[in-house]
Amino acid sequence: MAKDLSQTKWHGVPRQDVPWVPTVSRDACIGCELCFVTCGREVYEIELTQGKGRKAHVERPYNCMVGCSTCAMVCPTEAISFPLRDIVWKVEREHKIFKIVHAEAEEKRTRAGTIAARQQAEQHLGSTQTRLRVRIAGVFGEKQFLTKLQELVKDRPFDIENLQLHVPTLKGLMENTPAYMDFEVTSTIQEDVQPLLDALKVLVADNGLVWVEQR
């Protein structure tokens, strides 16, 4: 079932207020069906006429992408025509569409950035060789534990991911109640993780924390 795009908007302007639609000269049309096959927006249907063979018919004019004229370019008999471009420029000016266009451009960049970040993350995930979950507990307070953790992995082929601090209650935190910290030790290359774990355990003990488990 072909989609009807006549109720959509073109940069904020109702599509039906933008008169960019193709017209087919039935006399010039030889029914080659190239427009029907070329248009990706299902603007055309082909009719079987009595005695005159096939003829292209503009069935969904407002499905046409504003500014596109591909079908007219490929039509072998120049049977397809479009309004003058001035008509589109007039709509652009009258409806002041560029504020909306800038917002759409921003959205497009954000979307592209999000996709790139996701692909990067997936790539990273796919190439991860080591993934070890560690849980430690204790009073983290002013110990600069994260800075020391970062120092520990800085020159090693490992990273720390998905780090989470689980604080039982906010009041508890103020009163120095023990909290849990979870993180994953990861590496994208095959490397013995044991020396790092040993150093980590020393760091945990030196900071008065408790090594709960590793998985």
Determine if 18 is a binding residue for ligand SF4 (CB under 6 A).
no
Q: Which of residues 22-41 bind ligand SF4 (CB under 6 A)?
A: 22, 24, 29-35, 38-39, 41
Q: How far is the CB of 83 from ligand SF4 (least distance, A)?
A: 12
For ligand SF4, the binding residue among 13, 57, 68, 207 (CB under 6 A) is 68
Q: Which has the closest alpha carbon to 4: 58, 45, 43?
A: 43
3-state class of 43 per DSSP?
Answer: coil
Determine if 196 is a binding residue for ligand SF4 (CB under 6 A).
no
Q: Which has the closest alpha carbon to 203: 130, 158, 150, 141?
A: 150
Q: Which of residues 80-99 bind ligand SF4 (CB under 6 A)?
A: 80
Count, residues near ligand SF4 per rule CB under 6 A: 25
On the 0-12 / 13-18 / 19+ scale of CB atoms within 10 A, 182 is: middle
Q: Which has the closest alpha carbon to 181: 142, 133, 148, 215?
A: 133
Do residues 25 and 12 make contact, with C-beta atoms less than 8 angstroms apart?
no
Q: How many CB atoms neighbour CB 148 within 10 A?
A: 13
For ligand SF4, the binding residue among 43, 149, 193, 204 (CB under 6 A) is 43
Q: Which of residues 141-160 bind ligand SF4 (CB under 6 A)?
A: none
From the list 77-85, 129-137, 147-155, 179-187, the region that binds ligand SF4 by CB under 6 A is: 77-85
Binding site for ligand SF4 (CB under 6 A): 22, 24, 29-35, 38-39, 41, 43, 56, 64-65, 68-71, 75-77, 79-80
